[in-house]
Amino acid sequence: MRLRSTSPLAIPAVILVLIAAVIPLIVLSASVISGADVISIWSKSSVQRALIFSTWQALLSTALTICLGLPTTWFLSRYEFFGRQVFMALVTVTFVLPTVAVGAAFLALLPKGLHHSTMAIVVAHAFFNISIVVRTVGPRWNSVDDRLIDCAQTLGASPLHIWQSIILPLGKSAILSSAALTFFMCFTSYGIISILGGPGLATLDIEIYRRAVQLGDLSGAAILAVAQMLLIVTIFFIWSRGRTSELISFRSRTLNPQKLPLGPKCFLFGVAAFFVAPVLALIASSMRTGRSWSLTGWRVLLGIQNQKGIEIDTWQAMQTSAKYALIAAGIALPTGIAATYAFSHRQSANRQLSTLTILPLAISPVVIGLAILITYDFDPFDFRSSWLLIPIIHSAIALPFVIRAALPVVQGIPNDLRLAAATLGAGSWRRLLTVEIPLLRPAISTGFAFSLAMSLGEFGATSFLTRRESRTLPIIIAGLFGRAGEIPRATGMAASVVLILVTAMIVLSVDRKSYS
Amino acid sequence: MSLTITDVSFSYGERSILHDFSLEVAAGTTTAVVAPSGSGKSTLLRIVAGLLKPTTGTIILDDRNITNTPTHQRSVGMVFQDNQLFPHLNVHDNVAFGLKVSKMNQRDINSRCHELLELVGLGDVMRQSVATLSGGESKRVALARALAPSPRVLLLDEPLTGLDQELHDRLAQDLHQILHSTDTTALLVTHDLTEAEIISDSIHHLQ
């Protein structure tokens, strides 16, 4: 017996996704079909270069991410060791840090010769995406029974052979889906490339932005966006298949209390240093101008010192970022939690709706930004100038995070608990306030924190829709790094420190259980 | 191939699990160690297999001290209590696992798998997924897999646990026959004296 029908609860989420993604993407696709010269755009050398570079750097980034991510995942999913929780927190935080700020952090860390290089881009991508491997493959490997490995040993398998024949095959579908997702993230990378890219290092997303905003070639940008969308949908399809076509059932197991050997310890220490070093370098770099220590960057950022050529209103940008983040989280959280109740019932309609709500995350933010620009620019839907559009898009991008955080919790609440409360005389509102919400609290705080973090760091879609008077911190940072000179650079570093620390604190304030 | 366990002790921290345990299993025979749950039977097998290192004592396999030899170089086969069939491999590939490790050619692997599966009475499920097997079939596949690489000693950890009585008795008889027909040196640990009496040639009580 169910207390009430749950499907209507998905309606707000569906409307949000329709407004922020589905309708704009349909309009974008229609604009391409209706007349644009689909073929000629591909003959342009800048487009060909962007396509080749997008693919090439995404493949390299995926390879490095998998190489670093798989051993990290194995040790984290099998061993209990001192500092494991801190490591898991680092892994969680890196994934949601603002891309432009992380780009700045790698500028601070790497020697000048590598600043605008493929290597810098690839390394920064690995920084973000190791988290995907740990999150996707970790639960699978955690559930591999120790005795299965013992058994392989008794059959004569060496440690290398056990990796080849047991550990990798058992994680295969998860490894493939994490690789597909990493490739997708790197292929559609925009914030990182905006900071670490340069001549000859432009991805398709950068080319879409350049065509739409700098060259005014909206139809060319639209063709590239639709092509990219089709490619991403294909990759996404492979990814989601990997997630659902699991034939073997797995049980999670307790971690191995054995001591982590020295080699793995050193490896994990190296990965932790890889996560922390860019941020430390960023902090140091924000306090330097040229070759000397100086707080000029911070003074300019905080408006204590005026600098010719840098007209930024940091407080206004912080207020704007905070306002957008709070509104986005305010929309995403109730919408996402309500949808989670609908999706917790395994009906095929719910499954399809659940897939639909991942769409804003699955499509590149640049494509969404462009699609919105094209869609909402005529009466009576001329919302482009409305500032509310940006937090609405941010909330749609945050929606899948809220649903993912809440789904296991909602599914874990036994229906009998609700029935018990009902038999004790609790009406639906009282049940909601006294049973559901207290039990959902960890998911609510995780969803809220991730929505805030997502919105604070969002750069791709925002860069299309931002207005001079309502610029967010990532837009300000990208602008500062686009200027020549040491002081804009130091100011950009300082702004990146603020953004990274605020985001990290928000995510770390979440209940520890959600990332341990 | 004979197995000699001499003065083996093992403890987890302060807790002593085995204390100066000695046992000899003659070549081609099956010895059962019978003891109640929690008395260190499985620990003993894990030590012989090399999965645990004894605090003191030696393991000699056919005049060769293997106490410090890594598991994968010991040539011991083991049937685990809950089978531990590889879930991503079918029945044939489970049985072939140890043969592939020893780099046997594919034709020989196929004929050996066929031979072993026939021996355990499962010739017709070769390409089946292990997820579809019944409890009794899983036990037989685990036995075939452990026997396939012709181990120098076979270790059986409560191999018939969890089966209904009829199947249990039938498999115990089959196991006895298979171990004899293959002239395997085997060490069985169980809490079930009747099972030990059916399968083994000699019984050792562990206190």
Could you report the predicted ipTM of this complex, rounded to two decimals?
A: 0.88
pLDDT band at A420 (very low <50, low <70, confident <90, very high): confident
The pair of three-digit structure tokens given for residue A328, joined into one six-digit string: 């986005």
- Rounded average pLDDT over B87-109: 92
Residue B60 has pLDDT above 60, yes or no: yes
Q: Which of residues 245-274 of A touch B (CB under 8 A)?
A: 247-248
Q: Lowest-confidence range among A192-196, A352-356, B126-130, B198-202?
A: A352-356
Residue A19 has pLDDT above 50, yes or no: yes
For chain B, give percent helix, strand, coil, nearest 5.
35, 25, 35
Q: Lowest-confidence range among A203-207, A354-358, A508-512, B109-113?
A: A508-512
Most confident range (mean pLDDT) of A287-301, A371-385, B142-156, B165-179 is B142-156
- Rounded average pLDDT over A121-130: 96
Please tell me the predicted confidence (pLDDT) of residue A452. Answer: 95
Residue A2 has pLDDT above 70, yes or no: no
- Rounded average pLDDT over A323-342: 94
More confident call, A198 vs A194: A194
Rounded to 5°, the CA angle A502-A391-A89 comes to: 30
What's the rounded Cα separation, in Å, for the pair A248 and A359?
A: 28
Please tell me the predicted confidence (pLDDT) of residue A381. Answer: 65
pTM of the model: 0.85
Q: Lowest-confidence range among A59-68, A236-245, A274-283, B192-201?
A: A236-245
Is the minimum CB–CB distance between B152 and chain A shorter than 8 Å? Answer: no
Contact state of A154 with B82 under an 8 Å Cβ cutoff = no
- Rounded average pLDDT over A36-42: 76
pLDDT tens track for A429-468: 888 888 888 888 888 999 999 999 999 999 999 998 888 8
Residue A350 has pLDDT above 80, yes or no: no
pLDDT tens track for A40-59: 888 888 899 999 999 999 99
pLDDT band at A244 (very low <50, low <70, confident <90, very high): very low
Contact state of B71 with A169 under an 8 Å Cβ cutoff = no
pLDDT band at A386 (very low <50, low <70, confident <90, very high): confident
What class has domain A9-38+311-516? Answer: mainly alpha
Please tell me the predicted confidence (pLDDT) of residue A257. Answer: 65
What's the rounded Cα separation, in Å, for the pair A204 and A55?
A: 9
Contact state of B97 with A155 under an 8 Å Cβ cutoff = yes
Q: What is chain A's length?
A: 516
Please tell me the predicted confidence (pLDDT) of residue A247. Answer: 42
Is the minimum CB–CB distance between A151 and chain B shorter than 8 Å? Answer: yes
| Strand B30-34 to B202-205 pairing | parallel
- Rounded average pLDDT over A153-170: 94
Q: Exposure of A458 by Cβ count < 10 A (0-12 exposed, 13-18 middle, 19+ buried)?
A: buried
Please tell me the predicted confidence (pLDDT) of residue A511. Answer: 53
Nearest to B78 among A154, A161, A248 (CB): A154
pLDDT band at B85 (very low <50, low <70, confident <90, very high): very high
- Rounded average pLDDT over A141-145: 89
Residue A321 has pLDDT above 60, yes or no: yes
Q: What value does the mean pLDDT of chain B take?
A: 91
CATH architecture entry for A52-286: Orthogonal Bundle (1.10)
More confident call, A220 vs A385: A220
Chain B interface, best mutation among A141, A154, A158, A259, by max B CB count within 10 A? A154
**Do A52-286 and A9-38+311-516 have the same topology in CATH?**
yes
Contact state of A165 with B97 under an 8 Å Cβ cutoff = yes
Contact state of B97 with A145 under an 8 Å Cβ cutoff = no
Which chain B residue lies closest to A250 (C-alpha atoms)?
A: B87
For residue B144, the chain A residues in CB contact (below 8 A) are none
Strand order from edge to edge, sheet including B56-61: B15-25, B3-12, B56-61, B64-65
pLDDT band at A218 (very low <50, low <70, confident <90, very high): confident
Q: What value does the mean pLDDT of chain A take?
A: 87
Residue A363 has pLDDT above 90, yes or no: no
Work out how many CB contacts closer than 8 A connect A with B: 72
> B160-165 contacts: CB < 8 A, separation 24 or more?
B160/B190, B160/B192, B160/B195, B161/B81, B161/B82, B162/B82, B162/B135, B163/B135, B163/B136, B163/B139
Q: Domain ranges in chain A?
A: 9-38+311-516, 52-286
Q: Which of residues 99-138 of B touch A (CB under 8 A)?
A: 100-102, 129, 131
The pair of three-digit structure tokens given for residue B105, joined into one six-digit string: 């050619």
